[in-house]
Amino acid sequence: MSFVVHHDVELAQRTTFGVGGRARTLVSVWDPRALPEVVSRFGPVRVLGGGSNVLVADEGVAETLIHLLPSAPERAGGHSTAEAGLTCEVESHTVRLHAAAGMRWDDVVAYSVQRGWQGLECLSGIPGTVGAAPIQNIGAYGQEVADVVEAVEVYDLGHGSPRSLPAAECGFGYRTSRFKGQESQPPRAGEAGPFVVTGVRLRLKADAPGCTRYRDVAERLPEGGSVASVRAAVLEVRYAKGMLVHPALGTDARSAGSFFVNPVVPDAVAERITATHPDIPSWRASASAVKLSAAWLIERAGIARGYRRGRAAISSRHTLALTALDGATAAEVVALGREVRARVLAAFGISLDPEPVLLGFYSDVWAS
Ligand SMILES: Cc1cc2nc3c(=O)[nH]c(=O)nc-3n(C[C@H](O)[C@H](O)[C@H](O)COP(=O)(O)OP(=O)(O)OC[C@H]3O[C@@H](n4cnc5c(N)ncnc54)[C@H](O)[C@@H]3O)c2cc1C
């Protein structure tokens, strides 16, 4: 047997928000070869990784949830270890790392940083699993996972077979990929997808200095530094911003990280806003589009850190993080998210896109 079936599972404790109802069925799978049987017995399915980028509805989730483990529970005690699920090959200056989807992402980062390998150090401290990393092309402090992905291994629910998708076929973009949002669509026989990510192949540099491209990291390491010093700097910045899952951060860590992605707008829209607000932080996103700071837009729409609506609040350390206070419901988090969106829209004419994936919501909660 390569999977275990659990019934009536409380989901709040399996997510970083800590809110939401129950799953009728959750299947823990440690051998991806079991996926065809799981899907045929329990489909439709959705995947739950570390629950750090989902908001679960108070009413719970009707679909069967699949939870991938890096190895059999008796071997790893139900938890990911740095070695279980990881294989690597070092050839001259290049390291090829294969990580199983069920591993903890930060274990893989720590493992590579300890060996001086370059490519993941800025992605230190991001909660969640390896399998979720390509879903929204996780990124932080000057790196994104797409920079180092060679291929994503998937189980294709449409074709009913495993596949390896080279990075060029993954549709990676800013906080997105071809996988984001795909699982909520039912598979259609003969058509590719949706995909369950079963592993990721990464290509790292064996001996290169750490990446200090991002301002907050560069300020701490003005002379540059090793991958280990970049990891330490990133973890420090993350702690200060409440962007780590850490018990000392209290309810500030009860979030899904950034709740909104930075909006990418056409040049004409950016010019309209910068004409009256020249201080808005912005970055060129393409030849004709500019990325604007969502945190700045929220603050200037009159919503400050610590702002509360019911038992949901803006983090006291980061404007982009919506947090769940003691006793909060998913509905309260949604209500705060809706208010933030409405106020930014009214002030700037820009509609912010939420980043976390909704589980168990069966209508468009963001429609106004
Ligand atoms: C404090 C905090 C800080 C964060 N900082 C960052 C950051 O800096 N940058 C960033 O990009 N994100 C950040 N996040 C968001 C989150 O950690 C990442 O998106 C992470 O990759 C989610 O992993 P997970 O395993 O928890 O996924 P989950 O939340 O369990 O799932 C997220 C989505 O991915 C799907 N999914 C998960 N695993 C698979 C799989 N194997 N196959 C197919 N689909 C799958 C799920 O169905 C769901 O749609 C942060 C979150 C928190 C709480």
pLDDT tens-digit map of 162-179: 999 999 999 999 999 999
Question: DSSP states of 28-66 as a string?
Answer: EES-GGGHHHHHHHH-SEEE-SSSSSEEE-TT-B-SEEE
What pLDDT digit, counting tens, does each position of 38-50 carry? 999 997 899 999 9
Residue 151 Cβ < 6 Å to ligand 1: no
Amino acid at 172: F
Question: 35 vs 155, 191, 198, 271, 339, CA distance in Å?
Answer: 8, 18, 10, 50, 40
What pLDDT digit, counting tens, does each position of 84-93 carry? 789 999 999 9
| pLDDT at position 193 | 83
| pLDDT at position 71 | 81
Q: Are strands 64-68 and 22-29 parallel, antiparallel or unpaired?
A: parallel
Whole-number Å distance, alpha carbon 33 to ligand 1 midpoint, is: 23
The burial of 55, by beta-carbon neighbours within 10 Å (0-12 exposed, 13-18 middle, 19 or more buried), is given as buried
Record the pTM: 0.95
Residue 77 has pLDDT above 60, yes or no: no
Whole-number Å distance, alpha carbon 131 to ligand 1 midpoint, is: 9
Residue 139 Cβ < 6 Å to ligand 1: yes
Residue 248 has pLDDT above 50, yes or no: yes
Residue 127 Cβ < 6 Å to ligand 1: yes
Structure tokens belonging to residue 122: 């800025």
Which position has the higher pLDDT, 161 or 79? 161
Taking the C-alpha atoms of residue 206 and residue 209, their distance in angstroms, rounded to an integer, is 10
Residue 108 Cβ < 6 Å to ligand 1: no
Mutate to test the pocket of ligand 1, among 14, 47, 197 (most ligand atoms within 8 A of CB): 47
Residue 183 Cβ < 6 Å to ligand 1: yes
Residue 197 Cβ < 6 Å to ligand 1: yes
At 284, is the secondary structure helix, strand, or coil? strand
Mutate to test the pocket of ligand 1, among 16, 126, 179 (most ligand atoms within 8 A of CB): 126
Question: 97 vs 13, 71, 191, CA distance in Å?
Answer: 31, 17, 30
Report phi then psi at 169, rounded to 5: -100, 10
Residue 165 Cβ < 6 Å to ligand 1: no
Which position has the higher pLDDT, 1 or 37? 37
| pLDDT at position 327 | 97
Instruction: Specify the range with the lowest mean pLDDT, choosing from 65-74, 122-131, 142-151, 235-244.
Output: 65-74
Radius of gyration of the chain (CA): 20
Question: Distance from CA of residue 67 to its chain's centroid?
Answer: 16
For ligand 1, atom 38, which residue shows the shortest CA distance? 132
CB distance 119 to 204 below 8 Å: yes
Q: Which residues are catalytic?
A: 175, 258, 355
Q: Which residue has the tokens 């945190």?
A: 295
Q: Work out the percent of the chain whose per-residue pLDDT is above 70.
A: 96
Average pLDDT over residues 223-234: 97
Residue 79 has pLDDT above 70, yes or no: no
Within the chain, residue ranges assigned H as helices are: 35-42, 73-76, 105-114, 215-220, 227-241, 267-276, 294-300, 330-348
Question: 175 vs 37, 315, 337, CA distance in Å?
Answer: 32, 21, 18
The correct answer on CATH 3.40.50.970 for the domain covering 86-241 is: no
Residue 255 Cβ < 6 Å to ligand 1: yes
Ligand 1: which atom is nearest the Cα of residue 50?
26
Q: Work out the percent of the chain whose per-residue pLDDT is above 90.
A: 88
Taking the C-alpha atoms of residue 36 and residue 162, their distance in angstroms, rounded to an integer, is 10
Residue 82 has pLDDT above 90, yes or no: no
Residues 6 or more apart whose Cβ sits within 8 Å of residue 81: 70, 71, 107
Task: For the chain, report the end-to-end CA distance as a whole number of angstroms.
Answer: 47
The correct answer on CATH 3.90.78.10 for the domain covering 247-359 is: yes
CB distance 309 to 322 below 8 Å: no
Residue 187 has pLDDT above 80, yes or no: no
Taking the C-alpha atoms of residue 99 and residue 352, their distance in angstroms, rounded to an integer, is 33
* Topology, domain 3-73: 3.30.43
Whole-number Å distance, alpha carbon 350 to ligand 1 midpoint, is: 25
Question: Predicted confidence band at 74 (pLDDT cuts at 50, 70, 90)?
Answer: low
| pLDDT at position 57 | 98
Amino acid at 171: G
For ligand 1, atom 2, which residue shows the shortest CA distance? 257
Whole-number Å distance, alpha carbon 275 to ligand 1 midpoint, is: 36
Residue 143 Cβ < 6 Å to ligand 1: no
Question: DSSP states of 198-266 as a string?
Answer: EEEEEEEESS-PPP--SHHHHHH-TT---HHHHHHHHHHHHHHHT-S--GGGGGGGSS-S-SBPPPEEE
Q: Where are the domains of the chain?
A: 3-73, 86-241, 247-359
Whole-number Å distance, alpha carbon 329 to ligand 1 midpoint, is: 20
Average pLDDT over residues 242-269: 96
